[in-house]
Amino acid sequence: MKFIHRLVLNLLVCMLLALIRNQTNSLFTDEDDPILMSGFMPGCQCNGQDANCLVCNFNYSCIYGTYLNTTCTLLDQCDKKNSNTLIKEYQCSFCYQLPPHLYNCSTTTTCQLHSRYKALCTVPDDIICMGKRKFFKYVRCEFTSGYKWSTALLLSITLGGFGIDRFYLGNWQEGVGKLFSFGGLGIWTLIDVILIATGYLKPSDGSIYV
């Protein structure tokens, strides 16, 4: 009798675990993850130009960098039924292998200059490429805060003796030093002109010039 009770109990536990697993899998599917989606996306304009509405037959054995033509099926926005077939040109490359100017990556201002941070990159809808259209990539930390190199150089040449160039770049400690030393009797001013002209002296927040 005890054996039967244990057997029934084990069966109930197994059924309960299977039910929980099915419910969990239904909540976390690839279709719910925009990064894993490479085909149809809700709300896209199915006009033949939006790559998210196309399913293409790529030649994965092609030579990298070459341009090829492929047959793409245009999906209907409402019921996802095949509605049209198009011939599209694409470069033999996965999306993450495209030149940097062909995709957009998220930016940040919390990284250190010249370091690298993990960015989420997205390929525009009008570009056809193989693989996932959204991907993570480590990119160089370079952000702008509105500082202009020409303005900094002009201030250094004209008002550098009063430390205005240093104040403009956010280096107020050095600016105070230049102000009360009259630009280091001209020597400090000349050095700053050279540093700004060569791009060595940058804004204090680590950003690059516009």
- At 183, the amino acid letter reads G
Please check the confidence at residue 65 and state whether its pLDDT lies above 70: yes
| Burial of residue 66, with CB atoms counted within 10 A of its CB: 0-12 exposed, 13-18 middle, 19 or more buried | exposed
* Confidence bin at 140 (pLDDT 50/70/90): confident
C-alpha span between 179 and 120 (Å, rounded): 44
- Rounded to 5 degrees, what are φ and ψ at 151? -65, -45
Between 86 and 8, name the one with better pLDDT: 86
**pLDDT for 181-210, tens place per residue?**
877 778 888 989 998 898 888 887 767 776
Q: Which of 14-18, 24-28, 43-47, 132-136 has the highest mean pLDDT?
A: 132-136
Q: Once rounded to an integer, what is the mean pLDDT over residues 26-47?
A: 42
C-alpha span between 58 and 61 (Å, rounded): 9
Please give the mean pLDDT across all residues of the chain. Answer: 75
Please check the confidence at residue 94 and state whether its pLDDT lies above 50: yes
80, 157, 182, 206 from 44: Cα distances, Å: 12, 53, 62, 39
Please check the confidence at residue 47 and state whether its pLDDT lies above 80: no
Percent of the chain past pLDDT 90, that is, above it, reads 8
C-alpha span between 180 and 132 (Å, rounded): 58
Check if the beta carbon of residue 86 is closer than 8 Å to that of residue 71. Answer: yes
Q: Once rounded to an integer, what is the mean pLDDT over residues 168-172?
A: 87
pLDDT at 51: 77
C-alpha span between 20 and 192 (Å, rounded): 67
Check if the beta carbon of residue 179 is closer than 8 Å to that of residue 173. Answer: no
Q: Once rounded to an integer, what is the mean pLDDT over residues 79-97?
A: 77
pLDDT at 9: 56
pTM check: above 0.85: no
Structure tokens at 171: 């280096």
